Structure 1
Amino acid sequence: MPDLFEPKPRYQPLAARMRPTTLADYVGQSHLVGPGKPLREAVERGQLHSMVLWGPPGVGKTTFARLLAEECDARFATLSAVLSGVKDIRQAIAEAQQHQAQTGRSSILFVDEVHRFNKSQQDAFLPFVEDGTITFIGATTENPAFELNNALLSRCRVYVLRKIESGALVNLLQRAVQQDQSLKDANISVTEETLERIANAADGDARTALNLLEIASDLAPASGDKRVIDEAVLSEVMQADVRRFDKGGDYFYDQISAMHKAVRGSSPDGALYWFARMLDGGCDPLYIARRVVRMATEDIGNADPRALQLALNAWECQERLGSPEGELAIAQALAYIAVAPKSNAVYSAYKSLRADVASMPGYDVPEHLRNAPTKLAKSLGHGAEYRYAHDEPEAYAAGECYLPEEIAGQRWYEPVPRGLEIKIREKLAHLAELDAASTQRRYEDEG
C-alpha cells in the first residue's frame, strides 16, 4: 500500500522539465555562445566576467546564467529585484564571501529584473563586483542604458539576447515530444506543421512555446493508442492572444518607432504592417491615432496640410465608431501620410526656436508691435509707425520687421521643395524680394 503521508513529487511544467543542462543543449543565442565567439571562449577558459543580459521574456536569460555558472564551476545564487532590497543584497554578498573562504569557489550572483532596483540598491553591488567577490549577472527586459546606473554598467558587459527563431523553437518542441517522459507516456502525435504554428504563435518565446505544447497535449483527444494534437485542439489553444507587446516597454516603443520610420520613408506597406502588428499585440488604437497626428505634423507638415486633417478625422472615427471601423480609418490615414510629400521644416524650425529662445536674452517687443489699448500706451509710443498690412500693396508691408531688433535678420522656417511647400517657398522668396526693394528705396531716400 502506498504511504498516504509520503509527499508527492512536485509538479514541474514542461518548460521547467526541458530546461537545458549544458550550453550544447541551449536553444538560440548562437551569436553569443556559438563556436569561436568571445563569450564562449571566455567561458571555456573559466574566465567569466560581470555582465548584463538584455532581451525579451522567454529567451532563456535565467537558464543562460545558470549554464554559465555550471560551465565555470561557480556557485550560483539568485536575487529578484521585485522581491529583494539592500538587506537581501548584503546577505547574498555575505554568503558569497563565506562560500569563497570555505571552498575557494567564486560565486555568480544572478539578479533578475535588475532594472527594478533603484540607484542606491544598484550601487550596493559595486565594491563587490570591483573586488571580485561576485561575478554579477543582471537580467533585464528594458534598455540598460536608460535603466541602470553608469557606475554599474561600466563594470559590466552588455549582451543582447535575441528572440528565438521559429526554426529553433520547432526543434525544441520536437525534442520535447521525443524526450519528455510525460509526453512520451501520453503518446502525443503532432505534425511538424502544427509545431510550426505553435512556434510562430510563441513569437520567439521558448517558455510560451512549451507552455502551448503542454496545454495542447492536455486537451488532445485519444485516437486509438495516440493522443493527437489536431486543428480543433490547436484552435482552442490559440484563442488566447499570446503575442508579445509589452506596453510601456522597449518592444512597445520599437514597434511604434518602426511604424513612424516607415511613414517617414514613404512605405505604406511598412506602416500598415507595424500598425497591424501593434493591434495584434493588444495596443490601444487611440494611442496609435495620436501618434499618426504627430507624424502628420512632424514629417509632412505644410508639404500637405490635408494629412493633419485626415489624421484628426481618423482619430475621431476611432473614438466614435470603435473597432474595426475606426481602425480602418487609421489605416487609411497611415497609408495617405506614408505617400504624402514630406517636410520637417516646421518641426525643425520649432525645435530650433525653442532652443534659441531658451538660450537668448528676453528681448523686448519692438515699439511698433506693442499693444496700445490706452492713451498712456500710445503716449509711450506703443504701436507707433506700425503698418497695417491690408492697406499695403499685395497686403504686405514690405520691409517691416516682426522680430526684436537684435535678431531682425534671423530665419528658422525654410520650406522644402516638395508638395505645397514649393508654393510657400516661392511666396517667401517673392516677399524677400519686396523687402529688399523696400530697404533699397529707404537707403536711397535717406541718402
Structure 2
Amino acid sequence: SQQDSLLHAVEKGWIVLIGATTENPSFEVVSALLSRSQVYVLKALTYEKLEELIDTASEKFNQDEKTSFKIIEKEAFIQYSGGDARKLINSVELVLNQYKNSKKSEIKNEDVLEVLQETMALYDKNGEQHYDIISAFIKSMRGSDPNGTVYWLARMIAGGEDIKFIARRMLILASEDIGLANPNALVIANNCFQAVNVIGNPEARIILSETAVYLAVSPKSNSTYMAINDALALVKRTGNLPVPLHLRNAPTKLMKDLDYGKEYKYAHSYDGNFVDQDFLPEEIKDIKLYEPGNNATEKKIYEELKKKWNNKY
C-alpha cells in the first residue's frame, strides 16, 4: 500500500523516486512501480576494488593527518569489512588513528588484528565458514542438541548472517529431519520464516532461537524424505509407466467408452472411508516407498496402515 501510494506522483513526474533494496526487486517492489522504474543492479565489490579503496582511504588519511602510513598487507582489512566499503574505510581510519602517535609507518595484518581483535569478523558470510557453521547448526538440530544449536545460531547472528537464510534452512530441516514425527514442526518453522520477515533484527534472534530449540528437541524422522528420494529413483529407473485405467480421468464420452475410470472405487462409499484397490502401475503395484519411522506419531500411522492394508505395506 505504501508503494501503491507513490504511483500517481511518479507517473506525473512530481517526484523522482530513488530506492534501494538488498532483495530481488521482482519480489519486493510492486509490479506497477517496477514497470515505471529503471532498475540498476549493484554488484558486490571485487577484491581488487576493495584493495583500491584501502589505498584511497590511507592516502586521504595521510593527507588530512600529515602522516606517511603505508599499508603493506590488506587481507585483514578486507576480511573484517565483509565486502562493505563503508566498513572498510572506517576500519582503515580506526587502525591508522590507533598508530598515529607511534613510530610505526608500515601496517601489516598483525597490526590490523591487534586493533580490531575485539570486533574482528568470526564469520565469513561468503566463504568457507558460512557453509561450515550452517552445517554445524543443522547437524546440532538433527542431533537433538539444543546447546549446540543455539551456540551455532549465535555465531551466525553475531556474524551478520541473513536471518531469512537461517529461517529457510530450519524450514528444510523441519521437513527433512523431523517430518511426521512432529508435523507441527513445519508449521512453526514456516511461522518463524514469516515472523522474521516482519520483525527483522535485533528481535528476530528471539524468534530464531525459540524455533531452533523447538526443532532440536523434537522427535526425529526422515521417512518422508527417504520416501520421495526412493520414489524419484524409481521413476528414473522405470520411466513413464501408464496410469491404470481405473485411476484415469474421464471427462469425455470416448474416454468413458475406453473404460477410463470404470473400475475406480470411491473410498467414501465404503465403511471407514477405505476400500482395497491398487494405486500404482501394474509393473510396480507391490513396491513399498514409505516406511514409517520409529516414533509415537508414526507408530500410529503404521498401525493404521496395517489395519487397512494388512501386510501390503
SS at match of 1:383: coil
Residue 435 to residue 410, structure 1, CA distance change in 2 (3 Å): closer
Residue type at the aligned position of 1:298: E
Query: Do 1:304 and 1:419's aligned partners in 2 also have CA atoms closer than 8 Å?
Result: no
Q: Counterparts of 2:300 and 2:204 in 1: how far apart (Å)?
A: 34
Q: Give the CA deviation at 1:208.
A: 5.1
Q: Which of 341, 345, 355 in structure 1 is aligned with 2:233?
A: 355
Aligned to 2:283: 406
Are residues 1:430 and 2:307 paired? yes
Greater percentage in strand: 1
Aligned to 1:258: 136
The answer on whether the counterparts of 1:13 and 1:211 sit within 8 Å (CA) in structure 2 is no
**What is the CA–CA distance in structure 2 between the aligned matches of 1:364 and 1:309, rounded to whole Å?**
36
Q: Which residue of 1 aligns with 2:218?
A: 340
Cα drift, residue 330 of structure 1? 1.5
Q: 1:243 aligns with which of 85, 105, 121?
A: 121
User: Residue 313 of structure 1 aligns with which residue?
Assistant: 191
> Post-superposition shift, 1:423?
1.1
Q: Secondary structure of 2:310's match?
A: helix
Partner of 1:6 in structure 2? none
Q: Which amino acid aligns with 2:295?
A: R
Q: CA deviation at 1:313?
A: 0.7
| CA apart distance, 1:429 | 1.7
CA offset at residue 419 of structure 1? Answer: 3.4
Which amino acid counterpart does residue 373 of structure 1 have in structure 2? P
Matches for 1:385-424 after TM superposition, within 5 Å: 385-398=263-276, 400-424=277-301
**Separation of aligned partners in 2, 1:266 and 1:15:** 43
Quote the offset at 1:323 in angstroms.
1.5
Name the CA distance, whole Å, in 2 between partners of 1:401 and 1:324: 54
The verdict on how the C-alpha distance between 1:333 and 1:251 changes in structure 2, with shifts beyond 3 A counting, is same
Larger Rg: 1
The corresponding residue for 2:79 is none
- Contact 2:178/2:219 (8 A) holds in 1: yes
Q: Tell me how far apart the structure 2 counterparts of residues 371 and 264 of structure 1 sit (CA, whole Å).
A: 42
Q: Cα distance 1:310–1:208, how it changes in 2: closer, same or farther (>3 A)?
A: farther
CA distance in 2, matches of 1:409, 1:307: 32
Letter in 2 for 1:289: A
CA contact (8 A) 1:371 1:382 kept: yes
1:239-298 per-position Cα deviation (integer Å, ceiling 9, x unaligned): 8x4213333332111111100000110001111111110111111001000000000000
TM-score, scaled relative to structure 1: 0.46
Q: Per the alignment, in what secondary structure is the counterpart of residue 180 of structure 2?
A: helix
CA-CA distance at 1:358 after TM superposition: 1.5
Query: Which one is further off, 416-425 or 311-320?
Result: 416-425
Matched, 1:285 2:163: yes
Gaps of at least 5 residues in structure 2 are: 1-67, 77-97
Report the Cα offset of residue 351 of structure 1.
1.0
Task: Trace 1:153-232 onto structure 2 (pairs within 5 A).
Answer: 186=102, 209-213=110-114, 216=115
Distance in structure 1 (CA, Å) of the matches to 2:159 and 2:234:
41
Task: Report the identity percentage.
Answer: 38
| 2:300 partner SS | helix
Is the 8 Å Cα contact of residues 301 and 346 (structure 1) preserved in structure 2? yes
Alignment partner of 2:258 out of 361, 370, 380: 380
CA distance in 2, matches of 1:301, 1:248: 30
The residue type paired with residue 112 of structure 2 is N
How far the C-alpha of 1:15 sits from its partner, in A, is: 6.2
Q: Which aligned pairs between 1:78-117 and structure 2 lie closer than 5 A?
A: none
Q: 1:395 to 1:212 in 2, by over 3 A?
A: same
Q: Distance in 2 between matches of 1:408 and 1:387?
A: 17
Preserved contact between residue 15 and residue 211 of structure 1 (Cα < 8 Å): no
> Letter of the aligned partner of 1:211 in structure 2?
V
- Give the 3-state SS of the residue equivalent to 1:386 in structure 2: coil
Task: Report the Cα distance in structure 2 between the residues aligned to 1:187 and 1:372, rounded to whole angstroms.
Answer: 89
SS in 1 for 2:296: coil
Question: 1:137-152 to 2 correspondence within 5 Å?
Answer: none
What are the within-5 Å matches in structure 2 for residues 26-65 of structure 1? Answer: none
CA-atom RMSD in angstroms? 2.8
Partner Cα distance (1:15, 1:435) in 2: 69
CA deviation after TM superposition for structure 1 residue 342, in Å: 0.2
Residue of structure 2 equivalent to 1:300? 178
Give, in whole Å, the separation in 2 of the partners of 1:210 and 1:419: 58
Shift of 1:14: 7.9
The number of aligned residues is 222
